[in-house]
Structure 1
Amino acid sequence: MRVLVTGAAGYLGHAVIAALAERGHEPVAFVRDATKAPRQATATAVGDVEDPPSLRAALRDVDGVCHLAARARVRESLTDPLPYWRTNVNGTLNLLDALTAGENRASLVLASTAAVYGTTATQPIREDAPIAPTNPYGATKAAADLAAANVAATGQLGAISLRAFNIAGAVDGHPDRDFTRLIPKVLAVQAGLAGELGVNGDGEAVRDFVHVADMAHAFVLAVEACSPGEWRAYNVGSGHESSINDVLATAERVTGQPVRIKRNPPANEPRVLLADSRRIRQELGWQAPNSDLSQILSDAWNALTSSYATRE
């Protein structure tokens, strides 16, 4: 398949391009800057999801789309929500419009998020849990999912939404440089790129971390499985329960040094957030062989230190 990957220059985009190429597909990187396209891409298309003409041009002769382009910072979405609605919702609508404008019926896989569920008390979270986002980021991703489901119901395309929980690790030496996320921030502290890590409360909040390589493989399986006229949502998580303190202890083992932390008051956040990923395992045969916490942090640490050593 010839597969367009929007947001290909990003952290997850690099991993998805690599996974598609390894599977024998032809990944096309859709990026705003051609110099940032992943090296494994078969071709590069320059454009923006907020620019419909560039989308239509990029979709020529494409069999599938992995739609990753989005704004994805929860706290930022609370203080500046409009750009999230423009990119995450309008960008997806532009893509759906371009996909349905011609006769080509390309498969569509959307990068969705556990944030669409909000703070549900039932754990682990299943796909039939209520959609109740508590922030603009989650709300915009829920809206994008619903738009894709509505269009798929017309028979004009097949779509799958992959609801990720906490993606971490690294593929092909490409680290996650978003230090607002827990694991990148911990490792930034260890590498001397940040002063300390703020830990809310007792550090016993539990999360579900999935290796970016395993997440990327989910995109490959999904784009192969889309069926015209159908939309499906899949939760993607490792099934491993890891507390914040577990992450700190693992980071200390991997890096060989203690983590400098600052204890903050408890935050208004879920005590437990876990994925029930049985549906994607049973229906698509997905597994998470790389999602042991030690491997996630080791791969992320090696990519981060190698990346910054190369820059010096």
Structure 2
Amino acid sequence: MHSQSAEELAAAANDRRWPKWQTMALLHSLHLPTLNAALLRPGQSLAEIRTAAQAFATKLDTERLMIRSDGGVERKQYYRGGNTFPIGEIAHRAQPLLADGRAVILAGPTNRFTNKLTVMIRMDRPGPGIRGTFTLEALGPGYDVADLTRGELPPQVTAQLEDVDWDRYAKPRWDEWKFTGDRCPGGEGARRRRRLERLAAQTLADGGQLAGDPQPEHAESWLRERGYLQLFGPQDPRPALMRRASKLFEDAFVLTRAQPNRNWRCLATAYSVFAEPRTVYWDLVDGERKYAAAAPDAARAKEAA
């Protein structure tokens, strides 16, 4: 993606068949930080997948790539992507997704166990021309975006602006921000355990690091053995969120102006601060369109190719 021309990015940003890829192209065209990525479409052969994965990995100078799925109608039981795998595993993991009519996004590798900050960003309004709200929900070290989206973990801190004019940018004053602290039932211990449960049952099981019937204790041992101790350290993301809040609002305002649905009511994106340090926006979700766009089935895609 990072080597695409402005014309190619514009075309990708207007292709609704692949919503994640579409909005990644939009984010990159706006010069917001994104992972470098490549798109595999339904109908591509196993040999084509292997060739594309190897070429992309060589370009990134890496031996591992992340897999995400894209397009089609998302069902409740769909592949939870975002894990990173060795190049040799990419083809056999990607092929079933392509056969099911979904595209596959290959992206540069990340370590989802060592994030410094994870933020879910929401832009809401009742309708065009009506003032709305801007909300940031954050988790601190050792958590990742999926904890806020799929894991439904309560944020450790929330920041909100009310009465936002989404048609005219104005830098918010500090006294306009409303910060809310942790409201997780059971506190940080309960949240951490739910994170470990998800890692055991989904992330580490999918990656092959844990087998059988993995429990939260197994996930904790796996993290500690590798020195991934961020989840078990101090958890106070408020200072980090406060430092970035105004810039995140500025980026969000730009996104609302650039995305194609002028009648939007709820938009959301996610933002990560990695350990490197490096920051990344993931993709932009339009609440009205998330489940609306359907990709062509594998047979039609293969015929078109």
Same fold (TM over 0.5): no
**TM-score, normalised via structure 2 length:** 0.30
TM-score by length of 1: 0.30
Larger relative CO (CA 8 A, sep 6+): 1 or 2?
Answer: 2
